[in-house]
Structure 1
Amino acid sequence: MSQLHLVHLLRERIARLGNKAALRVQQDGQWRAIGWRTLGQAMDYCAQALIRAGHQPTEMVGLYARNMPEWTQADLGILAARGVSVPIYPTSTLDQLRYIVKDAGIRLLFVGEQPQFDQALHLLKAGEINQIVTLDCTVDLRGCEQASHFQSFLVSGNHLPSEQALREREQQYRMDDLLTLIYTSGTTGEPKGVMLDFANMAACFEMHDRRLDLDEQDVSLCMLPLSHVFERAWSYYVLYCGAENVYIRDPQQVMEVIGEVKPTVMCAVPRLYEKAYALIQAKVAKAPPLRRALFGWATRVGSQMVATRQAGERPSPLLSGQIWLAERLVFRKLRERFGGRTRFLPVAGARLADDVNLFFQAMGFNLQYGYGMTETTATVCCYDDARFKLGSIGTVMDGIEVKLGEHNELLVRAPTVMRGYYNKPEATAEVMTADGFLRTGDAGELDGEGNIYFTERLKELMKTSNGKYVAPQLVEGTIGKDRFIEQVAIVADARHFVSALIVPCFESLEEYARSINLQYQCKSELLRHSRVVEFFEARIADLQKELAKFEQVKKFTLLPSAFSMELGEITPTMKLRRKIIESKYQREIEAMYNHV
C-alpha cells in the first residue's frame, strides 16, 4: 500500500477517517481540531487555486513559514497540483531566501507571519517572485495587490474549471515526480537543493512500517521545523498512519504545552533532552537528602533494567519489585511532565550523550535514537524496541545497505537516497560512488549484531599541530550537556591544544551568582569575575574526565552573547558555522593561545 502516491494515500485516509481530527492547533488559548475532511478540502482548494494562478505541473512553490496547520495544507495542495514544494527556514535572511527562490525558480511563495511577508515583499518588488500568499490571517499585506491571505486564496480555488484541471493532473501523477526540494543549511559553501521524489517517500514509509508501530490513536507533537527533513518526513508518516499532528510555532514552548497535548510520539533533537536532564539534575541537587537518595536509588534501579533489556535477559523478581516501586515513587511523576502518554520518542540530528540517553531510558522513556540525512529521506538507522545497544545509533532500517568506505566513512545505498542535488551535477557526482552508494561524510563503526556507531563528521575533524585528530562534536556534546552551558564551539585545527568559545546559560549562571552574593554591573563583568571563571574551570574539568588528554579543553573564553542565525554563526538546524565563528572571534581565540 505504501508504494502508492502520497496524495492517493491521503485521499484514502480522508475518505475513511472523515471528521476524525487530523491536525490540531492552539488558538486563543483553546485547542482547535481540524478534521480529515476539512484537511482534504483545503488541499484541493489550494491545488485548484494554484492552477488558477498559472501553476504548471512540476513547478516549484516555496514555503517560508513556522509550523502551523496551514503549512501542511499548503504543502499538500502543492503536491496535489503536481507541484514541488520547497521549504525555506522561517529564520532565513533575505539573501538566503533570495538564493533559494532564484535557484529553484520559485514564482509563488507561501509565507507565515509578518517578518516572512516583509522579506518576501522585497523579492516581489524586485520582480524575483510574482505572488505571495500569507498563511497567518493577521499579516498586514501592505496594500500589495499580488499578495493575499491563505483563506482568500483557498476561496479562489473553489472554481469548476480548476477542479477539472486538478482531476486531469491526478491522472498524470508519477512516483518519479519530484516531491520536494530541501536545501541543506550549508555549514560550508552555498546551500544545495536535495531532490526527493514520491518513490523515496513511499520507501521511507515502508521501512518505518517494519520498524515502528504507529496508528490512528497516536498523537504527535510537531515541534521541530517542518522545513527540516526530520519533522517533515515524520509528519507525512503521521498522516499516512492516520494519526493526529499537533502544531506549535515556537519550539521553545514545547515544555509549556506538552502537558496539555499529551503526545504519544514526538520528534526531537538531543538538545531538548540534554537541557531537560540538566534541569532535573539541578532540581535534585537542591532537594532534601531523603528525596535525593530516593531519586538516586530509582535511577540505579532503572539503569539495571536497561542493562537487563540490552542483554536480552528477564529481570529477576527482586529487580521487578524494585522497578514496580520506583515506577510509583519516581518514574511516573517524571513522565507526567512530558504528558504521561509517550510510547516512543524519535531522537536524531546530533550526538546524544550516553549518560543522558541512559537516564531517560532508565526513567521509562522509550527514546528511539537514530541517524539520518536530508539526502536519505531522514532515517538510515535507529533503535529497535526489541534490542538496542547504548552508545550506538541503532540498527539499519530494512531495505537500506550500509558499508564502511575510506576512513570508515558510512556509505548508504537505498531506495530512500536522493535523486541528487538540484542544478549541481558535479556536487552530486562527488557524493555518489560508482556502485550507487551515498557518501555521508560521517565516520562510524559496525558491530557483528548490525549496530552502527557514529564516531565523527569527517569534514569537521580537526587536526592539532601535534598530529592528533579531534572530533569537535564529541567534545562539544560532552561539555554542552551542563546546565550552565548554552552553546560551545571547539577550536583545535592546527593548534597545539583544544580551546573553546562558551556561551553560558545566563539564567543558571545569574542564579549561581546570587547564591554566592556576587556583585556585577553587566554580563561582561560577570563573565570576567575570577570566581565565575574558576567555577567554569572546575565544571569543565569534571565534565571532560572521560575524554582523552589531547581532546580536553585547556583554555576557554566565556561569551556574553549567543551564536545566532541572523549573524550567520549557526544554521537553522543549530549546527555551527565554524569558519564564521572563528573569523568573528579571532581576537578572543588568539588571546587563548598567546597567553600560555
Structure 2
Amino acid sequence: MNLAEAIIRKNVEKHPLKSAIGFKKKEGAWKELSWKKFSEIIYKTANSLRNAGIQENDKVAIYSDNSSEWMIFDLAAMAIGAITVPIYSTNNAEQAEYIINDSGAKLILAGDQSQYDACLDLVKKEESTLETIIVSKKAVWIKKEFSSFYLEDFIAKSSPKLEFCKKEYDEVATLIYTSGTTGTPKGVMLTHGNFIKAFDAHFEFFKFKNFEEELSLAFLPLTHVFERSWSLLCLYGGARVYFLEDPKNIAKTLEEVKPTMMCAVPRFFQKIYAGVLEKAEEGSSLKKKIFDWALETGWQTSELRRNEKPIPFGLKIKETVADLLVFSKVKEKMGGRLWFLPCGGASLSPEVTRFFDSMGIHVTVGYGLTETTATLTLFPLTKFEHGTSGKTLPGVEIRIGENDEIQAKGNGIMKGYYNRPEETEKVFTKDGWFKTGDAGKIDATGNLTITDRLKDLMKTSNGKYIAPQMIENLLTNNNFIQQIVLIAEGKQFVSALIVPNFEFLKEYLKKKNIPFTNWEEIVDKKEINDFYKEKIKEIQQHLSDFEKVKKFTLMPSEFEISNGEITPTLKVKRNIVLKKYSDVIEKMY
C-alpha cells in the first residue's frame, strides 16, 4: 500500500474535522489544519507535481527547515508514487548539489533564500538533473524565468481530489542520504512497506490508549529518519503534529504548544538533567533536602510502576507532595504535559533515564539506523532495563556476530543503497543479515546494550581498548561540558578536546569575579583549567585508570555543522575533528 494513502485516507474518513497539524507563521499565533483541509492541500500539491511532469519513481527533493509545507510536500510526492529525497537545511550548496545529482532529483522544495539560491545555480547548469524549484515562503526572492514558483501559486489551480498511485510494500518511498560521520553520503532506499510495517509494530509494542488525543512537537530535523519516521507514525495513528522551524526556540515553544509526546536526542535530556541538579546544588540546605527526598520518592514509585507492582497508599501521597514541591516546576518548563519521549541517536546514561522516570516522564531509549527505518529496539512502557537500548520491536530480529557486531533482520531493513550494489553487498552477510557497524550484547531477558561503534573503538599504545561513547556520554552529563572528543588510538593515555557549556561557564566567571574578555583567553586561564580538572576527576572516579582522561584542551568555540565538524544530528565527525586539531592534540602528548 502507498504510505501517504495509509496515513491520509483512514484519518480523513474517521475524523475529517479533527486537527492534523499545527504550525506558526513568524510572530503570529499557532494555527491548525483539520484532516480534511490538510488532505486537500496535499492532493492539490500532488496534482500540481503531476502537472509539472513528475511521474512515478521520479525523485523530488526537499531542502528546507521543518515546516507544515515540508510534510505536505513529502506526502504529496509519495501519494503520486514519486520518491522523496530530503536534504538537511544546514547542508551547504556543494553538499546539496551532490545529493540532487546523485539521486537525479528533477524538482525541489526550497525553504529560505540561501537554499533557493543554491538551487537556482543548479537549474542554470546544463549537466544538472534539476528542472524546477518550488519555494515555500513568499519572503524569498525568486527568478520566475528559471522555472521557479511559490508553492501557493504552484498549487492554486489544482484539484483537491486525488487518485493515489498504487504501491507494493517493497517499492521505494524515499532516499535518505546518511549524514556520513565517515565517507561519502549514500542514499538509503526505504520502502512504503518499511514504514507501514514499522508503524504497525510500534502500535503492537506499546498498545497506546487514546493515541489520537496525543500531540507531538517536531523539532529535530525532518530530514533525519528519526523525526521523519516518528512524525509520520504520529500522523498514521491520528495524533496531531506541530512543526517547529527553528530548534533554538524549543524552550519557548514547549510552553506554548504543551506537547504530550516528542522525540529528542540525548543532549536534550542531559541538559535538563544537569541544569536541574545544578540548581538543586545551589539552593539552601533545606531545598536540597526536599529535592533529594522528592527524587528518592519518585524513584521508589517509578520502580514499582516499571515492575508492574502496586504503589502503597502512603507512597502515593508522598508522590503527590514530591510532584507539587519539585517535579511540577520542572515539567512546567517542558510544557507540563509531556509523558512519552522517544530518544535516539546515541546512548543515554541510566541516571538520566531514571531521573525522568522519577518525574513520571517515560524516556523511551531506542536503537536503530537510517538503514533500519530508525527503530530496531526500544524501551517498553514497563519491564525495561535502565542502561540498555531496550527490546526488539515486533518483526525485528537481532543477533551478535563477529567482533560483537549487532546484526539485524526484519520489517525496517532498507532495500539497499541507491545505485551502489557493491556498497549494499558489503553491509549484508551471506545469509541476509544487515551489519550495523555497532558493537553490543544481549542479556538473558532480551535487552540490547550498545557497547560502541566498531569503527570508533580505540586501542592505546599499551594495548588497552577504549570505548569512547560511554566515556564521552558520562562527561557530557555534566552541565559545564557541551561537547567532547576523546583521543586514545595509538596513544599512551586518553586525552580529550572539550567544548565548555559557555552559558554555565559565564555564570561561573561572574560568581568568581573573573572578568570576561574573550573565550580564547578564558579557556587558557589556569583557574578555569583547574576547575575543569576537578570536575573531570570527580565524574570519572569510577572508571578504570586506563579509561580516564589524563589531559584535556578546552576549546574556545563549539564544533559546528557549517564547517563539517558535526553532523546535522549533532554527532561529532571524529575523523575530521582529529585531523583539523592535530596540532592541539599533539601538544597534549
Q: TM-score, normalised by structure 2?
A: 0.96
Partner SS for 1:441: strand
- Contact kept? 1:58, 1:177, Cα under 8 Å: no
| Residue 340 (structure 1) shift | 1.7
The one-letter code matched in structure 2 to 1:459 is K
| 1:8/1:509 CA distance change after superposition, 3 Å | closer
Q: Which residue in the other structure is 2:196 paired with?
A: 202
Q: Which residue in the other structure is 2:259 paired with?
A: 263
Q: Does 1:134 align with 2:135?
A: yes
- Contact kept? 2:328, 2:336, Cα under 8 Å: yes
| 1:457-536 alignment, distance < 5 Å | 457-536=453-532
Q: Does 1:538 align with 2:534?
A: yes
Instruction: Give distance in 2, aligned partners of 1:432 and 1:114.
Output: 41
| 1:316/1:8 CA distance change after superposition, 3 Å | closer
- Contact kept? 1:483, 1:505, Cα under 8 Å: yes
- Contact kept? 2:486, 2:494, Cα under 8 Å: yes
Partner SS for 2:571: coil
CA deviations on 1:303-341 (whole Å, 9 max, x unpaired) are 223333445543445433422321222222322222222
Select which of 413, 421, 445 maps to 1:449: 445
| Residue 585 (structure 1) shift | 0.6
Stretch moving more, 464-473 or 332-341: 332-341
Select which of 346, 364, 367 maps to 1:350: 346
Q: Which residue in the other structure is 1:375 paired with?
A: 371
| Residue 112 (structure 1) shift | 0.9
CA deviations on 1:90-119 (whole Å, 9 max, x unpaired) are 000112111111110011111111121122
The one-letter code matched in structure 2 to 1:31 is W
The one-letter code matched in structure 1 to 2:35 is W
The one-letter code matched in structure 2 to 1:87 is P
Partner SS for 2:523: helix
CA deviations on 1:531-576 (whole Å, 9 max, x unpaired) are 0010010001111122221111111111111111111111111111
Q: Which residue in the other structure is 1:148 paired with?
A: 149
| 1:228-239 alignment, distance < 5 Å | 228-239=224-235
Q: Which residue in the other structure is 2:321 paired with?
A: 325
Q: Which residue in the other structure is 2:175 paired with?
A: 181
Q: Does 1:76 align with 2:48?
A: no
- Contact kept? 1:5, 1:174, Cα under 8 Å: no
CA deviations on 1:404-424 (whole Å, 9 max, x unpaired) are 101111111002110011111
Instruction: Give distance in 1, aligned partners of 2:394 and 2:168.
Output: 24
| Residue 52 (structure 1) shift | 1.0
Q: In the comparison of the two structures, how many residue pairs are matched? A: 584
The one-letter code matched in structure 2 to 1:139 is V
| 1:78-97 alignment, distance < 5 Å | 78-97=77-96
| Residue 393 (structure 1) shift | 0.9
| Residue 520 (structure 1) shift | 4.4
Q: Does 1:303 align with 2:323?
A: no
| Residue 38 (structure 1) shift | 1.4
Q: TM-score, normalised by structure 1?
A: 0.95
Q: Does 1:278 align with 2:274?
A: yes
Instruction: Give distance in 2, aligned partners of 1:403 and 1:149.
Output: 49
| 1:401-480 alignment, distance < 5 Å | 401-480=397-476
Instruction: Give distance in 1, aligned partners of 2:544 and 2:299.
Output: 25
Instruction: Give distance in 2, aligned partners of 1:412 and 1:25.
Output: 37
Q: Which residue in the other structure is 1:11 paired with?
A: 9
Stretch moving more, 513-522 or 476-485: 513-522
Stretch moving more, 327-336 or 582-591: 327-336
The runs of 5 or more residues in structure 1 that have no matched partner are: none
Which runs of at least 4 in structure 1 moved beyond 4 Å after TM superposition? none
Partner SS for 2:438: strand
Instruction: Give distance in 2, aligned partners of 1:8 and 1:315.
Output: 41
Q: Which residue in the other structure is 1:38 paired with?
A: 37
Partner SS for 1:216: helix
Instruction: Give distance in 2, aligned partners of 1:5 and 1:355.
Output: 38
Partner SS for 2:213: coil
Q: Which residue in the other structure is 2:555 paired with?
A: 559
Instruction: Give distance in 1, aligned partners of 2:158 and 2:513.
Output: 64
Q: Which residue in the other structure is 2:362 paired with?
A: 366
Partner SS for 1:501: strand
Instruction: Give distance in 2, aligned partners of 1:384 and 1:113.
Output: 40
Q: Which residue in the other structure is 2:396 paired with?
A: 400
Partner SS for 1:157: coil
The one-letter code matched in structure 2 to 1:150 is L
Partner SS for 2:73: helix
- Contact kept? 1:259, 1:336, Cα under 8 Å: yes
| Residue 293 (structure 1) shift | 1.1
| Residue 475 (structure 1) shift | 1.2
